[in-house]
Amino acid sequence: MIGEAVWWTTIVDATLVRHHPEAYDEVMAEQNLPEQRLIQGTLAGLRFVRNQIGQGVDLAELIEPGAPGPDADRGCITGWKWKPAPEPEVEPLPERGQAWEMTRYRAYQAQLAGRTIGETFGQVAAFLKLAAANAPPITEAKVQSTP
């Protein structure tokens, strides 16, 4: 479930950035500077997780169950935490790819490691919902079919 949430969150973010950059940037600009950095860092950290999963890293290497609590018997995972991650192997990547992956890794360490799953997704979900709400609707006139 967490892997799916990572995948879909990063897909929604990328879709908004590519197809509705004005709405995305407008909502981002409405955030104060610390909030902007938090959102951007969290999304970059989630991209790191997505890339790690895509390279065959078991998600269990990046998360740990939270302390037992009143919701533990209901399978609540929002209290689970991101673990600190070892530095990724970037040598096979081109120089630019190495820099991008290390930036994402540092964002993961700064914004995700030690924080709960619920906290992480709560922060970015609120931002992405605002950006999506400000994006113009896709009309049939804008949709183009490919032959």
> What's the pLDDT tens digit per position in 64-103?
987 665 555 555 788 899 999 988 877 777 788 788 888 9
How far is CA 49 from its chain centroid? 8
Domain coordinates of the chain in residue numbers?
Answer: 2-134
Given a contact cutoff of 8 angstroms between Cβ atoms, the answer to whether 138 and 75 are in contact is no
pLDDT value, residue 42: 97
How far is CA 128 from its chain centroid? 10
User: What are the C-alpha distances in Å from 36 to residues 26, 82, 107, 124, 147?
Assistant: 12, 21, 13, 10, 40
7 versus 69: the higher-pLDDT residue is: 7
